[in-house]
Amino acid sequence: MEKYLLDYNWTVMAPELIIAGAAALLSIIDLLMKEKQDKRVLASLGFVAVLGALYFTVSRFGQQPYEILGDTYRIDDFGLVFKTLLLTGTALVLAVSLQEAKRKEITAQGEYYYLLLTALLGGMILTSSADLITLFVGLELLSISSYILAGIRKRRTDSNEAAWKYVVLGGVSSAFILYGMSFVYGLAGTTNLYTAQERMAEAMGNGMESFVYLSLFLMLFGFGFKVASAPFHMWVPDVYQGAPTPVTTFLAVVSKTAAFALMIRVILGGYLFLFNSRTAEGLELLTTALLVLAGLSMVIGNTVALRQFNNKRLMAYSSIAHAGYTLVPLATLGPMLFESTVYYLTAYLLMTLGAFTVIGIVERNAGTGDISAFAGLSRRSPLTAAAMTIFLISLSGIPVTAGFFGKFYILINAVATQHFWIAAIMLATTVVSYFYYFGIVRMMYFRPPVLEGKVKVPPASALVIAVAMIGTVVLGITPQWALEQLGEVNWAAALSPLNGGAPPAQ
Amino acid sequence: MDSLIKILPTWIAFSPLLGFFCLLWVPRNRSGWVKGVGMLSTLPPLLLSLFLYQRFDFASREVQFSHTFDWFHIPLPQGQTWSFSYSMGVDGLSMPLVVMTAVIATLAATASMYVKKRTKGYFLLFTLLEVGMLGVFMARNLLLFFLFFEVTLVATFFLIGIWGLVHREKAANQFLLYNGLGSAFMLIAFIGIMVLFQTLDFSRLQMVLNNPQTQMALASQPQFQTLIWGIFIALVIAFGIKLPIFPFHTWMLKVHAEAPPSVVMIHAGVLLKMGAYGLIRFGVELFPSQLREAAVVLAVLGLINILYGAVLAFVQQDLRRVLAYASVSHMGIILFGIASLNVEGLSGAVFQAVSHGFISALMFFFIGSLYERTRTTRIEELGGLARSMPVLSGVFLAGGLALLGLPGMSGFVAEFLAFLGLFQTQPILAACGAIGLILAAIYTLRAVLGTTFGPDRGTWSGPADIRTYEAAPMFILLALIVLVGVYPGVLGDPMQTTLQLIVSRIGG
């Protein structure tokens, strides 16, 4: 049966269309505006668009998975959950950016706003692709937008350095992913992830194991880079430090979440046969590789962070460590893989966003990115210091915060699948991480202030901090609501192809 | 009304929050108001816990005032769920500790008058700390226990790090790292329990573990045995760090030496006892057969604690460090009591926990008021205090006598019971441990005599002798110490039934 474009139910793509439309609209408005004009109206428009997309995303939950555009694009609960996270993260980043832009630090404001949206769009495509080509398009859209965003302060050398490193290393990682994908195509003769899975399973039986593994590991290299896990972490500290704080936040929160969605989708969707294969060998290999990534990230992230004295570098290594924690459920294939990963990513989103927002405010006030900028914050601005303490406590995984519960959830996976070593590494490195997270706490509470006067917190940032703080505490004390929502999500739909690829009768 | 009384433990645990929220509204610079509200905020838990003591049924074998609410569920793939409940309750083991905590918290709040800077932050953290401590002793769910435990950790970190002496940051860091490590062990043990037995509810766990079927299933599979041993060892390490057991004790010396006296009152008085409580609650009650096999090891560790602490207490030059090592030594006696695994020994352990709580609170109250006057706690710089501050020196002497275990005071009862228990099972180790009692007399008297007798070594500014608001709390503590010493039933009766039940379950 021939299908035409308009035969599809396009409403399922409403969120993506809204974001794409908004990005286009913003770029046109930006062209029409005068150079010196205040561009903050663009931010507000972008914010509204993101909220609109969020509304359509959330309202789609619980419906049958639907594939569109010749089965290349797939709307299922798995993608929707991740899209919700991405949209929430971007909305909060946009709110924080308002203040950053006011400082005239970012000269190309218009570009900044619509690049954030295109990056977001890339992330959204990434979470919903059922086809390697769409997937790669999404990935590159996200990556290229991020490269420019990292270097958007074009008069600053550190920003340029960040962008340069990010482009080169990011390009290499994309090449790895592409190369891996080419092997998949070579084995399966199709770019559709789910069809490829079936054909690769056959190929496994025909003595092509080595190519299957080759494709998988080539892609793993790339994924490792995108989620910022060791040993592919070299770019993280420099880029995080050089990029403007809201962009760093975006990279840490939105990019990472999208990359995890990609990783889970490809590994579980494309290589599902490894888990069912008669020989446990393939599974063993995959699990070991992922465990090594996770363990290395935790160890390197948490130990190198001990020697960092720049806030954003410290957070960069912390982000590497958190990538390690988040990998654990996937690596151990725990019974609560999806729920615990998403729970942790949610917790991570809230606490990291909050922490970066405070860091941005404090750095601007002190004029330095050193952790000494926090000296005596508790006296100058007790509420901000208290909020930051909660974020740091959550990052270090101490109750009663979302970070603790997320870690608890992840650990259950590791222990239930009898991977005691990774649980032990996770706990040991967590204790190590106390030292550097509490280093900032020490600065805030134990040291006298260097500067005088209160630290001014702009209203939008205050709102973001409040949202993040309430979220962090509520998810830590009463996880019930979030768990219920996660429990209702139809995760299994992400793993299997739709029946014959035909859209279900509406 | 009845339903309100039924959830009394919840009221007690969260009643300090009343003061917390009141404090938030007091302006920062009104130091007097802050201190007043801070001290008053410890009264609701005190009154409620005394009420609890009065309403407690000594003869009952059940957990009293227990109440359970749904907390959250983790859905599992096969349609099952893991339920976690908010569950509180008191039995004979926790009740004495709750009352002790409330009493010491109130007195420590009084001793907090010596705190000079940032009083508002101090009392805010103090109330949070009290919530954590009270919660730890009454939580009937392991995860809930862990949450309360961690609250005390964070609050104490700040209290040491901001209001301590010169090396406070180092002490706070060490405190955090050691206890963080302990918490990590505890968490992994709890998760192991969760995965093995599908519940973290204490009463359910007890049922499952004491079920002969489970026992058989466990015994038949060596793999489970290893897991259980792993969990047990992790728990012993977790609470061993808190107690502390010998190689893990360095952090607590620093805390004793650097933290403000009012915080040390809490720390030595209550926080260390959480280790003892945890060992009895989770070691003895949940894993009795493992504990029985490890009893010799525990007793040996106890012996090391007793002798090591006592010997080092003898050579210390600073009163705070003398008391710190004395604490190490006294915690060894708790280990003795636990290792004996009989009613006498376990009563001795709990007696020692409470008695040492009161004694160290008294001693550090004294240290606080002494430091206020002399600005030093080094023995060599003090001397002849009996002449300038006769009453204060008298209190110190009385405390010292309690510390060395003089009959008629609480320390004697505790040590007597603990040794009585251990002599039944490990006579040789107990006999060696008895040397510690002699050493205790030596180091205590050396410290007391060195400071109160002899020639005056300096002229001290400030008020000469004890003042009323210092005298009242000190005499209350002394009265309690003597009360427990003269009439041990006040403490022993409520816990007798529970301990008998525990021992009967062990089958020892």
Question: For the residues A134-155, what does the mean pLDDT come to?
Answer: 92
How many of the other CB atoms lie within 10 Å of CB of B4?
9
Tokens 């019971």 sit at which residue? B417
pLDDT computed for residue A505 by the predictor: 35
Residue B141 has pLDDT above 70, yes or no: yes
Sorting pLDDT into bands at 50, 70 and 90, what band is A498?
low
Residue B65 φ then ψ, to 5°? 55, 30
- List the single residue in A378, A478, A483 with the smallest CB-CB distance to B74: A483
In this predicted model, what pLDDT tens digit does every residue of A297-337 receive, in sequence order?
A: 999 999 999 999 999 999 999 999 999 999 999 998 888 88
- Cα B356 from chain centroid? 8
Whether residue B195 and residue A415 make contact (CB cut-off 8 A), yes or no, is yes
Residue of A nearest to B181 (CA): A431
Average pLDDT of chain B is: 90
Listed in sequence order, the residues at least 6 apart from B2 whose beta carbon sits closer than 8 Å to its beta carbon are: none
The span from the CA of A158 to the CA of A150, in Å, is 10
Q: Which residue has the tokens 């090594």?
A: A292
Tracing tokens 């398009």 back to the chain, one arrives at A137
Query: B172 contacts in A (CB within 8 Å)?
Result: 442, 446
Q: What pLDDT is stored for residue B307 in this prediction?
A: 95
B30: pLDDT strictly greater than 70:
yes
Judged against a pLDDT cut of 70, whether residue B508 lies above it is answered with no
Write the single-letter amino acid at B55.
R
Task: Report chain A residues whose CB lies below 8 A from the CB of B154.
Answer: 393, 398
Q: What is the pLDDT of residues A421-469, one digit of tens each?
A: 999 999 999 999 999 999 999 999 998 888 888 888 888 899 999 999 9
Residue A33's pLDDT band (cuts 50, 70, 90): confident
Task: List B201's β-bridge partners, or say none.
Answer: B141
Residue in B145, B173, B101 with CA at minimum distance from that of residue B235: B145
Q: How far is B175 from B253, CA to CA, in rounded Å?
A: 10
From chain A, which residues contact B within 8 Å (Cβ)? 335-336, 339, 378, 393, 398-400, 404, 408-409, 411-412, 415-416, 420, 423-424, 427-428, 430-431, 434-435, 438, 442, 445-446, 478-480, 483-484, 486-487
Residue A102 pLDDT class (50, 70, 90 cuts): low
Structural contact between residues B143 and B190, judged by C-beta atoms closer than 8 angstroms:
yes
User: Which residues are CB-neighbours of A432 under 8 A, at least 6 positions away?
Assistant: A302, A303, A306
Confirm if B240 and B233 have CB atoms less than 8 A apart. Answer: no
Q: Indicate which of A340, A381, A388, A411 best probes the interface with B, i.e. most B CBs within 10 Å of its own CB.
A: A411
Find residue B139's DSSP bridge partners: B88
Residue A23 has pLDDT above 90, yes or no: yes
Q: What are phi and psi of A399, to 5 degrees?
A: -65, 165
Q: State the Cα–Cα distance between residues A181 and A203, nearest whole angstrom.
A: 15
Q: What is the pLDDT of residue A221?
A: 92
ipTM at complex level = 0.92
Q: Cβ separation of A415 and B188 shorter than 8 Å? A: yes
Using the beta-carbon criterion (under 8 Å), do A399 and B195 form an inter-chain contact? Answer: no
Is the separation of the CB atoms in A116 and A86 below 8 Å? no
A435: nearest CB among B177, B185, B187: B177
- Show which residues on chain B lie within 8 Å of chain A, measured between beta carbons: 70-77, 121, 143, 146-147, 150-151, 153-154, 157-158, 161-162, 168-169, 172-173, 176-177, 180-181, 184-185, 187-188, 191-192, 194-195, 230
* Percent above pLDDT 90 for chain A: 59
Find the angle CA(B236)-CA(B237)-CA(B238) to the nearest 5 degrees: 90
Say how many C-beta atoms besides its own lie within 10 A of residue A140's C-beta: 18
Helical spans, DSSP H, in B211-271: 212-220, 222-242, 250-258, 261-266
Cα torsion at B216, B218, B219, B225 (round to 10°)?
-170
Choose from A438, A474, A486 for mutation: most chain B CBs within 10 A: A438
Query: In sequence order, which residues have a C-beta less than 8 Å from that of residue B149 and are 6 or more positions away?
Result: B132, B136, B183, B186, B274
Mean pLDDT of A129-135: 91
Domain that holds residue B207: 1-506
Distance (Å, whole) CA A493 – CA A476? 29
Amino acid symbol at A310: N
pLDDT band at A2 (very low <50, low <70, confident <90, very high): low
Which residue bears the tokens 């509490």? Answer: A438
- What CA–CA distances, in Å, run from A269 to A419, A488, B113, B194? 23, 20, 64, 30
**DSSP H stretches of helix in B271-403:** 272-278, 288-315, 319-340, 343-374, 385-388, 390-403
Can you tell me the distance from the alpha carbon of A445 to that of B160, in angstroms, rounded to the nearest whole number? 11
DSSP reduced 3-state for B93:
coil
Strands (E), A71-157: 73-75
Please state, in angstroms and rounded to a whole number, the distance separating the CA atoms of residues B250 and A198: 60
Reported as half-sphere exposure (CB side, CA atoms, 13 A), residue B136 has a value of 27
Cβ separation B187–A408 shorter than 8 A? yes
pLDDT at A502: 40
Q: Are A149 and A250 in contact (CB under 8 A)?
A: yes
pLDDT band at residue B438 using 50, 70 and 90 as cut-offs: very high
Of all residues in chain A, the one with the smallest CA distance to B28 is A379
Examine residue A231 and say whether the peptide bond preceding it is cis (omega within 30 degrees of 0).
Answer: yes
CA–centroid distance for B255 within its chain: 14
**Nearest by Cα to B254 from B370, B183, B174, B162:** B174
pLDDT of B132 higher than 50: yes
- The reply to whether residue A431 touches residue B74, judged by beta carbons under 8 angstroms, is no
Closest CB from B71, B76, B188 relative to A427: B188
Least confident of A9-13, B368-372, B453-457: B453-457
| H or E stretch covering B491 | helix B489-506
Nearest to A446 among B169, B192, B194 (CB): B169
Cα–Cα distances (Å) from A265 to A76, A404, B86, in that order, read 11, 26, 36
Whole-number percent of chain B with pLDDT over 70: 98
pLDDT value of position A105: 63
pLDDT > 60? residue A503: no
Among A63, A101, A103, A90, CA closest to A79: A63
3-class secondary-structure state, position B252: helix
Q: What is the pLDDT of residue B271?
A: 95
CB contact under 8 Å between A412 and B76, yes or no, is no
- Closest by alpha carbon to A213, among A261, A274, A279, A136? A274
- Cβ-Cβ contacts under 8 Å, A435 against chain B: 173, 177
Sign of CA dihedral B366, B367, B373, B379: positive
Q: Among A356-370, A467-481, B66-80, B189-203, where is mean pLDDT lowest?
A: B66-80
Q: Report how far residue A439's alpha carbon sits from residue A308's, in angstroms, rounded to the nearest whole number.
A: 10
In angstroms, rounded to a whole number, what is the distance separating the alpha carbons of residues A428 and B188?
11
Question: What residues of chain A lie within 8 A of the CB of B121, using their CB?
Answer: 378
Ranges A140-149, B30-39, B111-120, B463-472: which has the least confidence: B463-472
pLDDT digits (tens, 9 = 90+) for B166-176: 899 999 999 99
Write the DSSP symbol of residue B201: B
- Give residue B82's pLDDT band: very low, low, confident or very high (50, 70, 90): confident
Dihedral (CA of A69, A72, A76, A82) sign: negative
Facing residue for A446 by CB, picked from B146, B161, B176: B161
- CA angle, corner A141, sides to A136 and A147, nearest 5? 120
Q: What are phi and psi of B66, to 5 degrees?
A: -85, 140
- Retrieve residue B212's tokens: 């002969």
Report the run of H or E that residue B75 belongs to, with start and end. strand B64-75
Radius of gyration of chain A (CA): 22
CB < 8 Å to A420, chain B: 230
**Paired tokens of B415:** 């040590």
B141 bridge partner residues: B201
Model confidence pLDDT, tens digit, residues A43-64: 889 999 999 999 999 998 878 8
> Given a cut of 60, is residue B462 above it in pLDDT?
no
> Position B274: which residue type?
M
Residue A57, CA distances (Å) to A94, A101, B296, B492 in order: 19, 28, 62, 63
For residue A399, give the chain B residue with the closest CA.
B147
Q: Could you give the CA distance from residue A199 to residue B391 in angstroms, rounded to a whole number?
A: 90
Count, in order, helices (H) and strands (E) of chain A.
21, 2
Residue type at B379 in one-letter notation: I
Average the pLDDT over A172-201 and give the result. 91
The 10 Å Cβ neighbour count of residue A9 is 12
How many domains does the structure of chain B reveal? 1
Nearest chain A CA: its distance from B266 CA (Å): 21
* Among the ranges given (A45-59, B48-62, B446-460), the one the predictor scored with the smallest mean pLDDT: B446-460
Neighbours of A201 (CB within 10 A): 17
CA–CA gap between residue A222 and residue A227 (Å, rounded) = 9
Residue-wise pLDDT tens digits, A264-285: 999 988 888 887 666 677 788 8
Q: Which residue has the higher pLDDT, B224 or A228?
A: A228
Q: For residue A84, with 0-12 CB atoms within 10 Å meaning exposed, 13-18 middle and 19 or more buried, which class applies?
A: buried
